[in-house]
């Protein structure tokens, strides 16, 4: 039995992989032992000052077929 739900699930997975990759790059470039919460928010483009969380659409999502 397959758990694959089609192309939309693929794009979610690709977006998650892209975000993880960005965090790994930032972590490897960091001078400190761990990334601060502020740096993680910056890398993920999260704005904690707003009441509602900012939504970031990863690059892979913009390549979604119609």
pLDDT, tens digit, 9 for 90 and up, residues 13-34: 898 999 999 999 999 998 878 8
> What pLDDT does 53 receive?
53
Q: Where are the alpha helices (DSSP H) in 1-66?
A: 7-29, 37-44, 59-62
pLDDT-derived band at 9, boundaries 50, 70, 90: confident
Contact by Cβ (8 Å): 47, 54: yes
Contact by Cβ (8 Å): 25, 42: no
Phi, psi for 43 (deg, rounded to 5): -65, -40
Contact by Cβ (8 Å): 50, 41: no
> What pLDDT does 24 receive?
93
Residue (of 22, 20, 13, 23) closest to 60 by Cα position: 13
């Amino acid at each position: 039995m397959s758990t694959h739900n089609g192309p939309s699930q693929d794009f979610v997975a690709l977006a998650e992989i892209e975000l993880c990759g960005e965090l790994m790059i930032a972590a490897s470039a960091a001078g400190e032992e761990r990334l601060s919460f502020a740096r993680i928010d910056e890398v993920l483009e999260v704005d904690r000052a707003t009441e509602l969380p900012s939504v970031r659409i990863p690059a892979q999502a913009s390549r979604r077929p119609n």
